[in-house]
Amino acid sequence: MNNISPEVARFIATIPVLASEPAFQHTTRISLANDITRFSPRFVPFMALGAGLAFGLLRRFDPRPLLVLGLGLLLTRTTDFVPLIVPAAVVALRGTAAIGWRWWALTGLCFGIATAIIWDRPFTLGGALLAAPLMAVGASVANRIWRVVERPTRRRGLTFVALAGVAAPAFTGAIDLVLRARTP
């Protein structure tokens, strides 16, 4: 999410202290070679999945609309304008009422379209449409995580630790190693 565009990544790589750092230069080459920027067609769907998880958990912890809106505004500003205020506004419209998968899908669609308009160059509707079900999937994962918090059992706790503490880092670590091995 920090790599706004290939041009910005290239510019940052020329900062003298970073230009002399081989590990940073390799990371920059990986980002550029694999299009790990906001202009990637994968950006909108992945952001929708993460936003669904984040807002799903936030709603479980505290569903007050003004809190959700305030956090959405803060996140929009601190992420250099990933429009997280859009899902915050859609979610806040429900007030404190429960949100089903259809509402999460609408939230994802609105977020996907707003994000694609701002960051997808050229604009493609595919990622925006894919954001709808992925936002609902992220919220569904948040519900499962919330069950562990709400009614902790040994089995739920161990499953959560195994998935979040072992499987997810192993998966993302494997992706990182493949990208590092593939990129000169």
Domains in the chain: boundaries: 1-37, 43-140, 152-184
Mean pLDDT of 154-181: 94
Q: Give me the helices (H) in the chain, please.
A: 6-13, 16-19, 22-33, 43-61, 65-78, 85-93, 101-119, 125-150, 154-160, 168-182
For 2-59, what is each residue's pLDDT tens digit? 667 889 889 999 999 999 999 999 999 999 999 888 888 888 899 999 999 999 999 9
Contact 41, 127 (CB under 8 A): yes
Pairwise CA distance, residues 31 & 21, whole Å: 16
Q: Nearest-CA neighbor of 76 among 42, 111, 100?
A: 111
For 119-136, what is each residue's pLDDT tens digit? 876 677 888 899 999 999
Contact 105, 135 (CB under 8 A): yes
Q: Nearest-CA neighbor of 135 among 163, 160, 116, 112?
A: 112
Pairwise CA distance, residues 98 & 88, whole Å: 15
